[in-house]
Amino acid sequence: MSAELDVVCIGNALVDILAHGDDTLLERLGSQKGTMHMVDAARAEEVYAAMGAAAEASGGSAANTAAGIASFGGNAAYIGRVADDTFGHVFTHDLRAVGVRFDAPPASNGQPTGRCLVIVTPDAQRTMYTFLGAASELDPGLVDETLVSAAQVTFLEGYLWDQPPAKEAIRRAASGAHGAGRRVALTLSDPFCVERHRDEFLELVEHEIDVLFANEQEIRLLYEVDNFDDALQHVRGHCEIAALTRGARGSVIVAGDEVHVIDPAPVQVVDTTGAGDLYAAGFLYGLTHGHDLATAGRLGSLAASEVISHIAARPEVDLAQLARPLL
Amino acid sequence: MSAELDVVCIGNALVDILAHGDDTLLERLGSQKGTMHMVDAARAEEVYAAMGAAAEASGGSAANTAAGIASFGGNAAYIGRVADDTFGHVFTHDLRAVGVRFDAPPASNGQPTGRCLVIVTPDAQRTMYTFLGAASELDPGLVDETLVSAAQVTFLEGYLWDQPPAKEAIRRAASGAHGAGRRVALTLSDPFCVERHRDEFLELVEHEIDVLFANEQEIRLLYEVDNFDDALQHVRGHCEIAALTRGARGSVIVAGDEVHVIDPAPVQVVDTTGAGDLYAAGFLYGLTHGHDLATAGRLGSLAASEVISHIAARPEVDLAQLARPLL
């Protein structure tokens, strides 16, 4: 069945608010460095008041992936929820401006558009505080079945499991996609996210997911194993395709008997934010454009290397042009 | 008379919305490259819809200067108008977070916080579209006389002349400052701004302004002369102090018989936005901290060189620390 869309990405729609800060600030906020904290509106205000001067840019993990696919020249859509407010307009503008289809109506629960407050310490680590706001209203009605059945791949971010109403929406998206003969992909998102939702993720990976993205720490936590190879042997039996990223060690793609070990693209690392999101973008672009798994993995590495060479979590150059030597 | 404040800066409060774009986009928008256009809400929407994915950061010329003075460790306040909306909160947060006093109440005219849409072309030129919004309600009542008489210098941006109600506010600020035995400083802001308000600026410079900031093109346009030295001879008779910036040629400071020719600080130029704002910050910090005019000029060059080494229009490092070898 031919598809109108390459990928529909479903996730928490967030605007990033980014400031530099030192360890003293994190201590004052009582926060563990390098982790993502889910916060309510009051705590978000408290953190923002304590933060230095900031810059704002659209973010959200799956939205970054959608923007990356569009930058490769792919045909991507996004499902997620913003409010009818300034940050909602900014988020919508920034996705549409890069060619991502985004038609979900603004949330009606009265909450403002979600945001992710990011404090970057001098050691280049990021400590994040996510206030979901309107994103928390991703109910089943929002999953456009026409969109899901029109896309070769429906891509879900693990962070969605942090908002209970989204689970039904996700099940509906997965069954809609499978009913139309399409694939369902998932990223485990974050080690803490795996710890929070391990049992559900395991069941999902066994029964619903065709393409799994995870980094080394996430996949080891999922299977509660101490080394990468053990995790690799586990996932091999469950998903059609697993793309496992290992930072500076590159990535490993496993699909039944087929295994590829992909080197990372050389890069001067400035900020690792968005690495996983953009790896998924490159991989999914490759997968939906008839490329073999090794090429898809190389496109993933390429996109990840671009996004970690600068502060922003979305590509700053045309990935289609960057990828030309590989295709 | 001792002063509680070093400088109070008065200007148009704006949030910058910055995107990359090519010449085709400017042609489609019918815009002259490298200039600042004043636009209404509808035109701002039209330009935003045509722009690519963007990033947001607090801006506004005099607000950038205030942030720079604070970064040197100076005591700065800001007067300008935002609305009680998301961008207004962002603008307020970003000034207060760096230690600038900013207490003006949000505007009540129903307009949203002002914004400056910026399209950066591959040749690093900036084409800007300013929608003043709430900033256009800078009425005389907003000029806090306690603040003005408490500051060693009241600093005005030339852009204020683009909003007629602000003129009375400016006159009030200038007479309040002079009445308290303080100095009044002005930046000419922009060559087109000088063309729009040349007669008023001339009168102001002759009668009200103690410290004038201008770049070469602005000061030549003000006196309608072809070369820099002619402009220098003109301004010498009018202002107590004039600090004239010449880009890569450095700056010239003239105060009666005293003249200093200051070299620029060495730098790899990434984006010249904010150069004038930060030159003024360094100079005013020096002037209000008992440094001689040559040192003030060198502090201006230093701050300008820092801000043009990156994209943002406000300093990214602690200017007090950067300035230590000079003081």
Residue by residue, DSSP assigns A84-107 as: SSHHHHHHHHHHHHTT-B--PPPP
Helices (H) and strands (E) in chain A, counts: 12, 13
- Is residue B101 classed as helix, strand or coil in its secondary structure? strand
- Using the predicted structure, report yes or no on whether residue A168 has a pLDDT greater than 90: no
Contact flag A85-B90 (C-beta cutoff 8 Å): no
Residue by residue, DSSP assigns A262-319 as: EPPPP---S--TTHHHHHHHHHHHHHTTT--HHHHHHHHHHHHHHHTTSSSSS-SS-H
Contact flag B53-A98 (C-beta cutoff 8 Å): yes
Separation between Cα atoms, residue A209 and residue B306, nearest integer Å: 50
Contact predicate B271/B310, CB 8 Å: yes
Torsions phi, psi for B22 (to 5 deg)? -110, 180
Give the model's pLDDT for residue B42. 96
Give the model's pLDDT for residue B3. 66
In the numeric block, the tokens 């230690």 are attached to B99
Report the pLDDT averaged over residues A169-189. Answer: 94
Contact flag A53-B93 (C-beta cutoff 8 Å): yes
Contact flag B53-A97 (C-beta cutoff 8 Å): yes
Residue of A nearest to B59 (CA): A55
Give the model's pLDDT for residue A9. 97
Separation between Cα atoms, residue A185 and residue B100, nearest integer Å: 48
Identify which of A34, A129, A63 has the alpha carbon closest to the alpha carbon of residue A280. A63
Separation between Cα atoms, residue B94 and residue B85, nearest integer Å: 14
Contacts of A58 in chain B (CB under 8 A): 53
Q: In what order do the strands lie in the sheet with A211-215?
A: A76-79, A5-10, A151-157, A183-187, A211-215, A241-245, A251-255, A258-262
- Using the predicted structure, report yes or no on whether residue A115 has a pLDDT greater than 50: yes
- Is residue B35 classed as helix, strand or coil in its secondary structure? coil
Contact predicate A202/A209, CB 8 Å: no
**How does pLDDT run across A4-13, given as a tens digit for each residue?**
899 999 999 9
Contact flag A54-B312 (C-beta cutoff 8 Å): no
Query: Across all residues in chain A, what is the average pLDDT?
Result: 93
Separation between Cα atoms, residue A52 and residue B82, nearest integer Å: 19
Contacts of B67 in chain A (CB under 8 A): 53
> pLDDT under 70 in chain B at which residues?
1-3
Report DSSP state, residue B296. Answer: H
Contact flag A93-B48 (C-beta cutoff 8 Å): yes
Q: How confident is the model at residue A241 (pLDDT cuts 50, 70, 90)?
A: very high
**How does pLDDT run across A188-236, given as a tens digit for each residue?**
998 989 999 999 999 999 999 999 999 999 999 999 999 999 999 999 9
**How does pLDDT run across A58-113, given as a tens digit for each residue?**
999 999 999 999 999 999 999 999 999 999 999 999 999 999 999 988 987 789 99
Contact predicate B254/B224, CB 8 Å: no
Q: In what order do the strands lie in the sheet with B14-20?
A: A36-38, A126-131, A114-120, A14-20, A55-58, B55-58, B14-20, B114-120, B126-131, B36-38
Torsion of the alpha carbons at A86, A90, A93 and A99, rounded to the nearest 10: -150
Separation between Cα atoms, residue B144 and residue B140, nearest integer Å: 9
Residues 6+ apart with CB under 8 A from B302: B265, B282, B319, B322, B323, B326
Separation between Cα atoms, residue B310 and residue B293, nearest integer Å: 27
- As a whole-number percent, the residues of chain A with pLDDT over 70 amount to 99
Distance from CA of A57 to the nearest CA of B (A): 5
Distance from CA of A54 to the nearest CA of B (A): 6
Distance from CA of A253 to the nearest CA of B (A): 32
Beta-carbon count within 10 A of B315 CB: 24
Separation between Cα atoms, residue B137 and residue A255, nearest integer Å: 63
- Using the predicted structure, report yes or no on whether residue A44 has a pLDDT greater than 50: yes
Distance from CA of B123 to the nearest CA of A (A): 15
Contacts of B71 in chain A (CB under 8 A): none
In degrees, rounded to 5, the angle at the alpha carbon of residue B69 between the alpha carbons of residues B63 and B75 is 100
Q: Which residue has the higher pLDDT, B166 or A180?
A: A180
Query: How many residues would you count in chain A?
Result: 327
Torsion of the alpha carbons at B191, B196, B199 and B202, rounded to the nearest 10: -30
Contacts of A319 in chain B (CB under 8 A): none
Closest CB to A53 among B54, B85, B98: B98
User: Domains of chain A (ranges plus CATH)?
Assistant: 5-12+61-110+136-326 (3.40.1190.20)
Identify which of A227, A224, A222, A196 has the alpha carbon closest to the alpha carbon of residue A209. A222
Separation between Cα atoms, residue A235 and residue A194, nearest integer Å: 15
Contact flag B52-A98 (C-beta cutoff 8 Å): yes
Q: What is the ipTM of this complex?
A: 0.85
Compute the half-sphere exposure of residue B33: CA atoms within 13 Å on the CB side of its CA.
Answer: 14
Burial B215-232 (b: 16+ CB within 10 A, else e): bbbbbbbbbeeeebeebb
Identify which of B6, B293, B282 has the alpha carbon closest to the alpha carbon of residue B152. B6
pTM: 0.90
Q: Which residue has the higher pLDDT, A165 or A118?
A: A118
Burial B108-143 (b: 16+ CB within 10 A, else e): eeebbbbbbbbbbbeeeebbbbbbbbbbbbbbeebb
> B71, B90, B271, B316: best mutation site toward chain A, by most A Cβ within 10 Å?
B90
- Using the predicted structure, report yes or no on whether residue A2 has a pLDDT greater than 60: no
Contact flag B55-A57 (C-beta cutoff 8 Å): yes
**How does pLDDT run across A244-289, given as a tens digit for each residue?**
999 989 999 999 999 999 999 888 888 888 999 999 999 999 999 9
Contact flag B48-A314 (C-beta cutoff 8 Å): no
Give the model's pLDDT for residue A3. 66
- Using the predicted structure, report yes or no on whether residue A1 has a pLDDT greater than 80: no
Contact flag B53-A87 (C-beta cutoff 8 Å): no
Residue of A nearest to B53 (CA): A94
